[in-house]
A and B are shown apart, each in its own frame.
Chain A
């Protein structure tokens, strides 16, 4: 059913659709394939970048720790701080101003000095609460307990993610006189740094399972990072690993990592890259490919259209010629100078037309040579020997004394006269449904009820005989007027079961009827020569009996036909149906 819409009447349309469709399918497949490969490559590429980004992030943090530790140690050896610590009473204000100076020097926004017992001596930030010293004290305890030269970790300071380092102030080593606590924020600036090197978006957020998860820093557009933070977010339930999440309608391939904090739930690091952004160059290429494909499709369609027309026009020409041939016009020839199959077809078609014309001529000739009915019978049935039994009325008509008649005239005149006579008689016979079986010299053998069976074959034969008698009178009147000798004939009619069919050899056939009934009709015609019967038309009892109602006829008694046991009753038939003399013929 679905295919029906593709059934176009025109072959060129079908060819066009088929080839253009095929081409389009190939192009589309290529396009989709490229698109899929691009997308897979993009995701693969992002995966690699994410892992590299994560490494860079961790390396940045370790480098920062190394830097803070190194500068912290150098700072701890500074002369001025020793002088300050040497004083009897710790001058907190001077220490704070000194720490501010150091903080500038080591580029760390948080710098706090602790006693060896980890109590706060001073900080560079005035008024910063004790909440910001806890993580340092934790690290100092850890360093002290484990006898470490320094300690580092990650923690919140005033709500902001920081990397923390504690380094001892030796006086001299290994005697610890104080601890420096240095912190560096993991903030938006750090996130941007990573983005600059890796092109990845970076988001730091607090632990997913906190009561109020929040975004600490992000390189994403405002509001975007919040969509992947919290229990109802796009990234809800995701702890670690690479996932593709949708933010603001765009797919982001995202690497989630935990950042362990000092004594707190770990923070979450999200490194991500928009798949759309990553695919942008590929999409640009795909659009170009699509454009080229469309142009190629259009060009291909034009070419195919040309080819299809090249095929379909000769086809239509062939169809037109076929219609002409079907209508009986065999004179047209297709002129198609091509070497291909279509050229061969056109050539074969021309040959066929010639053959058909030849056959038509033969058929017309046949119609003239044999009666049209027989010709039809011959044409529509398999020509083979053999026949069938059927009831046929056979009419024999023979001219009187034609042999002596013909001797008195030149042969061409005889033939002209004979043709004139036969033409009239044949016409009458055919008018009444009779079929000329053959001309035997001047004699006519006609069949009624064969080859096409008719119910009133006998009536037709009788009517034909009467009309023939009248026609002969007319013809004789004409001949007399022309000063030519008049003609006389005798007709014998019999109805009998005969064998009708094709007789002869395998190469030459004749449609005719044979049987005793045929011979009887011939005999009856012969009887008309007998003056005792005084009639030109003699019909058998069988013929009369076959006509309903039975026509009036003069009984002539019985005749015994040679080779037949039973006598046959015969009757004289006049032209006008009289049964007694004088007869008009």
Chain B
């Protein structure tokens, strides 16, 4: 009985490792799209909890956030260390988590746990050009597309809802079934809005100096 259970468990674990999902994302013009968030939300199986010590970092450095797009599973602690030479005033007015970290000095780090899934757009009150997107997803199976536009997720076989999100306004979702020991490769085309981030002037752009 026990060996059988162990064997079953082993098979389950093996099969869970076997399903590989890969999605290559391109824009309507055919260019690869980086920083797109791909997540697989299980429809039948329960979602595993977030490990207690899990944390993700969004630092401030050179008057910028270190990452433009960050993905975390709901319940993950996010640390905001100031590795800059100036103070920052990090805030968000996004619905999943409204918060403010009033002016804090270089070397200090504040942390916040993001419980609710959704998009949290983070800014700095005194530097208009600073922006970071924190995507809180209700699943541990997610990935961010790389420079080639490819996002890879290894997940157990089963039925999922595939969600793709990009800061330039594109959202896509569909149902998906991953089979045992099978590699699923897909492509997705996103229609992106123009990039409207605040441009940070570097040094002497205008004026007669």
Interface residues of A (CB under 8 A from B): 79-81, 83-84, 87, 91, 93-94, 96-98, 100-101, 103-105, 109-110, 125, 128, 157-160, 185, 187
Residues on B with beta carbons closer than 8 Å to the beta carbon of A125: 204, 207, 209
B181 at the interface (CB under 8 A from A): no
- Using A84-B103, A91-B86, A125-B204 as known contacts, say yes or no to A98 and B127 having CB atoms under 8 A apart: yes
* Alpha-carbon distance A79/B100, docked complex (angstroms): 13
| Cβ contacts A to B, 11 pairs, < 8 Å | A81-B126, A83-B89, A84-B87, A84-B126, A96-B86, A97-B126, A109-B207, A110-B209, A157-B208, A158-B208, A160-B207
Interface centre among B63, B199, B209 (most CB of A within 10 A): B209
* Cβ < 8 Å to A, chain B residues 179-209: 198-201, 204, 206-209
B67 at the interface (CB under 8 A from A): no
- Contact check, B102 vs A105: say whether CB atoms are below 8 A apart: no
Considering the complex, give the chain A residue whose CB is closest to the CB of B125.
Answer: A80
Residues on A with beta carbons closer than 8 Å to the beta carbon of B102: 83
Considering the complex, give the chain A residue whose CB is closest to the CB of B204.
Answer: A125
- Contact check, B201 vs A104: say whether CB atoms are below 8 A apart: yes
Contact of A91 among B87, B125, B208 (CB under 8 A): B87
- Contact check, B128 vs A101: say whether CB atoms are below 8 A apart: yes
20 extra A-B contacts, CB within 8 A, seeds A98-B127, A187-B208: A80-B89, A80-B126, A83-B89, A83-B103, A83-B125, A84-B87, A84-B126, A87-B103, A96-B86, A100-B201, A101-B128, A103-B201, A104-B128, A104-B129, A104-B201, A105-B128, A109-B206, A125-B204, A185-B207, A185-B208
B94 at the interface (CB under 8 A from A): no
Contact of A98 among B126, B200, B207 (CB under 8 A): B126
* Alpha-carbon distance A128/B204, docked complex (angstroms): 11
B: number of interface residues (CB 8 Å) = 21
Main SS of chain A's interface residues?
A: helix
Residues on B with beta carbons closer than 8 Å to the beta carbon of A80: 89, 103, 125-126
- Contact check, B208 vs A97: say whether CB atoms are below 8 A apart: no
Considering the complex, give the chain B residue whose CB is closest to the CB of A97.
Answer: B86
Question: How many A-B pairs fall under 8 Å by CB?
Answer: 63
Main SS of chain B's interface residues?
A: loop
* Alpha-carbon distance A435/B113, docked complex (angstroms): 165
* Cβ < 8 Å to A, chain B residues 72-102: 85-87, 89, 102
Q: B24 → chain A, closest Cβ, in Å?
A: 36
Residues on B with beta carbons closer than 8 Å to the beta carbon of A110: 207, 209
Considering the complex, give the chain B residue whose CB is closest to the CB of A161.
Answer: B208
Residues on A with beta carbons closer than 8 Å to the beta carbon of B103: 80, 83-84, 87, 94
* Alpha-carbon distance A354/B174, docked complex (angstroms): 127
- Using A84-B103, A104-B128 as known contacts, say yes or no to A94 and B207 having CB atoms under 8 A apart: no
Residues on A with beta carbons closer than 8 Å to the beta carbon of B125: 79-80, 83
- Contact check, A101 vs B126: say whether CB atoms are below 8 A apart: yes
* Alpha-carbon distance A97/B61, docked complex (angstroms): 13
Residues on A with beta carbons closer than 8 Å to the beta carbon of B87: 84, 91, 94
Considering the complex, give the chain A residue whose CB is closest to the CB of B202.
Answer: A100
* Alpha-carbon distance A214/B207, docked complex (angstroms): 18
Residues on A with beta carbons closer than 8 Å to the beta carbon of B206: 109, 185
* Cβ < 8 Å to A, chain B residues 112-134: 125-129
Considering the complex, give the chain B residue whose CB is closest to the CB of A107.
Answer: B206
Residues on B with beta carbons closer than 8 Å to the beta carbon of A157: 208
Residues on B with beta carbons closer than 8 Å to the beta carbon of A100: 201
* Alpha-carbon distance A258/B89, docked complex (angstroms): 47
